[in-house]
Structure 1
């Protein structure tokens, strides 16, 4: 057995300079754990989030002291679900073969995240063969997500096999990370009554409190450039996927079409064209509903603070399957948050707990419109809930708080080091 420090290997499809939220979070995590004293290595792929727009990176490099190895798995442009499936399969297979057969000189513990969806089952197999301990970080639950979306028939062979493998991956993990209480409940239900719920840690995602800070629209060049300064503005910024219920938001925009309210939807995704078509059906596109593509990284502190209210939307049935990282960004921006979700979803619980916004159920178009109209006519409510959002964010969801929790979980003597 080697006397060198244990290597903590983070396996993730996305890493710097990928602009996917998972890439940003995994970069923060690896660098933060390295800074706290863990020997960190990252195995990842080439940047490919925005259809391969990022420049190709060297196969081996250092990022802020973290050793990064990029595998050579072939990629196709991620412009559709079938193409993403190809990338996911190639990445998972390539990484599996590499980890099964590479020579390792010292003790290793593996940390992996559910990107791509097939990775947990593959890493469970690898770690079982190699005798490595591992930590399973659940950013999404599979096969729950494709079953809810109708891609995988519930109760079919694929569903049952995938569920069995995923359950075993949870059971054999040294640690399991859930992003909220509802997600923890779903994982515990998967494991059954014989499993130890104590090994499921709740560690929320985060935002960099120095990168996103509240900003008045009158001081924001992005608000000025897009004509938002003098108009009450509702912002959705991020992935426009099938599990994001923006249909309710567009419905609310139609209800408020005769009011001075501007809706700005920034981002890309499989469901974007459907949302554009819906806005056009209501005669809203180019008028009260505007669409923009993803914004450059350096512009995000301005685009994300350019509105009066931010939106987080989750499709019904996804309670505990996903927890939107947009919630923490919206709270960091110091804006009230309109959460479109079930009352008992993690996102709704948080904004209700801290009086940081208003939650409405999916499809409740009139309730969403009423919430926006209430904010529009009550600037004091906007200010109070926006202040509450930022204060709750600073107390609970900043980067250092989350990474300290990971460190305490992963390092045997972490508590004394963190306090010191």
Structure 2
């Protein structure tokens, strides 16, 4: 089988990390897996990584510093991916992800050229995400053209795998048959597990032993609202004096958040860099409760994958976002957190204070959270394998007919 995605380890990025885990599990189950990916510093054009054949293409350097430069970097990948894929042996099935956006056009084309089933593994829905984040004008001619192209490409796929029920609804709204969709949620890194406070190196290293840590861990990007979080920090200075709001990660909004916290003299707000996978269990477990945020307009267009790392660490989460999101549904169905669809600084601070006052509730919610994802990676690999076999059998049957 062939996967196509911009990032693959050692490159950082959630889409690459989760792809690597799935690819390696499929290799262990007997599949021959090839991944066509973007360049990575120090990596050969062709290599084998944990049983997975990795083919890397040359392309313009990816950057978040400029929308134009990022767009050009994306544009340079499409022809490079296509050329490299066509030089490879014909696979039985091709799977595209959504990094770069609209990559499903490539998998649809390769499926037709090779006469094999194509599967689209949707982590985001484009161009709607770009519209909502104001990267392109909403309902403009560019968005309209991209929507027509992506919808036509969608219908060329034997299956579309989405990471949430809310995203499945978005895909079906495009006219894609629901019976050909599969919901396979993302899963946490294998390295993440609960680490007790007394054994937690992150808490000890940063002087957080006696703090009540409210953590946001992940990308601080345009899809994530933080106004209510910083306002809550003001109220928490009095409501929960030992509360510390810890922002762990990077992203385009980090500098602005730092400046705002400094301007408001929020001594209970601290910032930390991205944590490597080897120490992720300690950093995620350092929190007493986590924050997961999402713009309401992005319901069904993205599903915050950071939630699964939180669950694996055995910690409850407060979701600041739409009630229809997969993240909100998981927290409510399994009673391992709370949902604030229209948070304000005051309501968020009140919710944090409630969880702070009830250690038994936090502990019970954490156990339920961990149980949700205990076998998630294995279950996802099984679901993918069934989907791929179904596609291949259906194609074989249609050819014979």
TM-score by length of 2: 0.93
Distance in structure 2 (CA, Å) of the matches to 1:90 and 1:36: 34
Match of residue 111 from structure 1: 95
**5 Å matches for 1:87-236?**
87-99=73-85, 102-103=86-87, 105-191=89-175, 195-209=176-190, 211-236=191-216
- Residue 414 of structure 1 and its aligned partner are, at CA, apart by 11
Structure 1 counterpart SS, 2:93: strand
For structure 2, the residue ranges without an aligned partner over 5 or more in a row are 394-401
Q: Retained in 2: the 8 A contact 1:407–1:414? A: no
CA RMSD between the two structures: 1.9
1:277 aligned to which of 259, 284, 287: 259
**5 Å matches for 1:3-402?**
8-47=1-40, 55-99=41-85, 102-103=86-87, 105-191=89-175, 195-209=176-190, 211-258=191-238, 259-284=241-266, 287-394=267-374, 398-402=376-380
Structure 2 counterpart SS, 1:132: coil
Q: Retained in 2: the 8 A contact 1:228–1:307? A: no
Q: 1:333 to 1:105 in 2, by over 3 A?
A: closer
Deviations 1:278-328 (A, max 9, x none): 3223221xx100011112332212111111011111112010110011111
Q: 1:382 to 1:103 in 2, by over 3 A?
A: closer
Q: Retained in 2: the 8 A contact 1:43–1:71? A: yes
Q: Retained in 2: the 8 A contact 1:212–1:332? A: yes
- Residue 221 of structure 1 and its aligned partner are, at CA, apart by 1.2
Runs of 4+ in 1 over 4 A off after TM superposition: 412-415
- Residue 130 of structure 1 and its aligned partner are, at CA, apart by 4.2
Deviations 1:88-146 (A, max 9, x none): 111123213333xx345444421010001132223323433443321001100000101
Distance in structure 2 (CA, Å) of the matches to 1:252 and 1:26: 36
Structure 2 counterpart SS, 1:152: coil
Number of residue pairs aligned between Structure 1 and Structure 2: 391
Q: 1:413 to 1:98 in 2, by over 3 A?
A: closer
Deviations 1:53-104 (A, max 9, x none): xx420111111111111112232554443332222111123213333xx345
For structure 1, the residue ranges without an aligned partner over 5 or more in a row are 1-7, 48-54, 416-420
Deviations 1:251-279 (A, max 9, x none): 21122122221010011111222222332
Q: Retained in 1: the 8 A contact 2:165–2:326? A: yes
TM-score by length of 1: 0.89
Structure 2 counterpart SS, 1:201: strand
